[in-house]
């Protein structure tokens, strides 16, 4: 029996993207017609899971004109959405591709604050879910003035409901989440260093840092993203390293979220850790091949998964 999935996005957005011939300061630039796509960590995970044939309940904050557009875009993709209404406007991001050399410029705007009352009501809404999903993904940044401790309360609710919690965020929010103890976390090497209270890590000292967190109950699985080099998975079973295939990178938007979706798809179907890492890298890499803010094509994922280089395994000690 496959497992059920919930994604939670506290700081969703509309990704507005366009192309311009060349970016030149102080000159009026003629852009192509804009393209609007839904964005935000958990939302992208749900969208990617849909492409892998897996349905996820998708909870996100929604406010104002942009929030309504976000809801409409997600309905068009036939996601199971549960927008949580807030008073402030949902944010936008702006992405411009310079056609002359295919450079991408990404402009991210901050999410406006969610009031304390809205935060309390959101926690109550999550706690009131009757049949709680087996896996909960809390992904993306926090809006302005939302304290990272809010994540702690949310994680505690999910764990009380016996849901496996997967976290993909950064900064203090990531630190607080990991201190609470989660099932899976996906830091990059700099974030793993911060979690380990180190100024930096080498690939040699990465093993020690990841295993220390696992032994102290901070996470059952840690997948350290190494960008174009692939990723390393750590668990009590040991260490698995998977390099990424060389592809033409068009955009990195949504690649991390796609990687999470790929890993979750294997958890849903009760696959093993080797499959989890392979599928994560296949999905993340396939998204870098997509134009603008688009996510992967399923046929690209299938092709990459079959042709990934051999994994390297060890005890990680």
Look up tokens 């997509």; give the residue. Answer: 290
Given a contact cutoff of 8 angstroms between Cβ atoms, the answer to whether 81 and 47 are in contact is: no
Given a contact cutoff of 8 angstroms between Cβ atoms, the answer to whether 154 and 142 are in contact is: no
Given a contact cutoff of 8 angstroms between Cβ atoms, the answer to whether 41 and 140 are in contact is: yes
Q: Output the pTM of the full model.
A: 0.93
pLDDT at 11 (0 to 100): 96
N-terminal to C-terminal alpha carbon distance within the chain: 35
Pick the catalytic residue: 57, 168, 257, 300? 257
The length of the chain is 317
The confidence band for 260, taking pLDDT boundaries of 50, 70 and 90, is very high
CATH number of the domain that residue 270 is part of = 3.40.1190.20
Q: Which residues, in sequence order, are CB contacts of 66 under 8 Å at separation 6+?
A: 13, 14, 89, 90, 91, 92
Q: Which two tokens stand for residue 293?
A: 């803010």
Q: CA triplet 110, 116, 118: central angle to 5 degrees?
A: 80
pLDDT at 316 (0 to 100): 56
pLDDT of residue 292 exceeding 70: no
pLDDT at 72 (0 to 100): 98
Number of domains the chain contains: 1
For residues 261 and 112, the model is more confident at 261
**Structural domain of 253:** 5-314
Longest dimension (CA), the chain: 59
- The predicted-structure confidence for 153-164, as pLDDT tens digits, reads as follows 999 999 999 999
pLDDT at 64 (0 to 100): 96
pLDDT at 317 (0 to 100): 54
Residue among 5, 235, 10 nearest 112 (CA): 10
Residue 257 among the catalytic residues: yes
Rounded CA separation 303/255 (Å): 17
Q: What is the mean pLDDT of the chain?
A: 93
- The predicted-structure confidence for 3-24, as pLDDT tens digits, reads as follows 999 999 999 999 998 999 999 9
pLDDT of residue 98 exceeding 90: yes
């Amino acid at each position: 029996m496959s497992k059920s999935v919930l994604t939670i996005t506290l700081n969703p957005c509309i990704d507005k993207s366009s192309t311009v011939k060349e970016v030149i300061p102080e000159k009026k630039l003629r852009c192509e017609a804009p393209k609007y796509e839904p964005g935000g960590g958990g939302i992208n995970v749900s969208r990617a899971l849909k492409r892998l044939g897996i349905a996820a309940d998708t909870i996100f904050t929604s406010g104002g004109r942009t929030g309504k557009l976000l809801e409409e875009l997600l309905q068009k993709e036939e996601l199971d959405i549960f927008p949580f209404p807030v008073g402030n406007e949902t944010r936008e991001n702006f992405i411009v591709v310079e056609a002359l050399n295919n450079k991408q410029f990404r402009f991210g705007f901050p999410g406006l604050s969610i009031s304390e009352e809205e935060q309390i009501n959101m926690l109550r809404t999550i706690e009131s879910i009757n049949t709680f999903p087996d896996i909960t993904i809390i992904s993306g940044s926090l809006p302005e003035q939302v304290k990272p401790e809010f994540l702690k309360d949310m994680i505690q609710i999910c764990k009380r409901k016996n849901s496996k919690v997967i976290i993909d965020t950064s900064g203090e929010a990531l630190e607080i989440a990991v201190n609470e103890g989660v099932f899976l976390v996906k830091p990059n090497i700099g974030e793993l260093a911060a979690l380990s209270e180190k100024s930096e890590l080498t690939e040699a000292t990465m093993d020690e840092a990841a295993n220390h967190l696992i032994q102290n109950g901070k996470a059952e699985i840690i997948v350290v993203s190494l960008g174009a080099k692939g990723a390393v998975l750590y668990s009590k079973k040991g260490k698995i390293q998977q390099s990424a295939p060389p592809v033409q990178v068009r955009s990195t938007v949504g690649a991390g979220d796609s990687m999470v979706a790929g890993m979750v798809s294997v958890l849903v179907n009760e696959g093993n850790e080797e499959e989890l890492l392979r599928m994560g890298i296949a999905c993340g890499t396939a998204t870098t091949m997509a134009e603008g803010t688009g996510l992967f094509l399923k046929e690209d994922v299938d092709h990459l998964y079959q042709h990934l280089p051999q994994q390297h395994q060890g005890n990680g000690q």
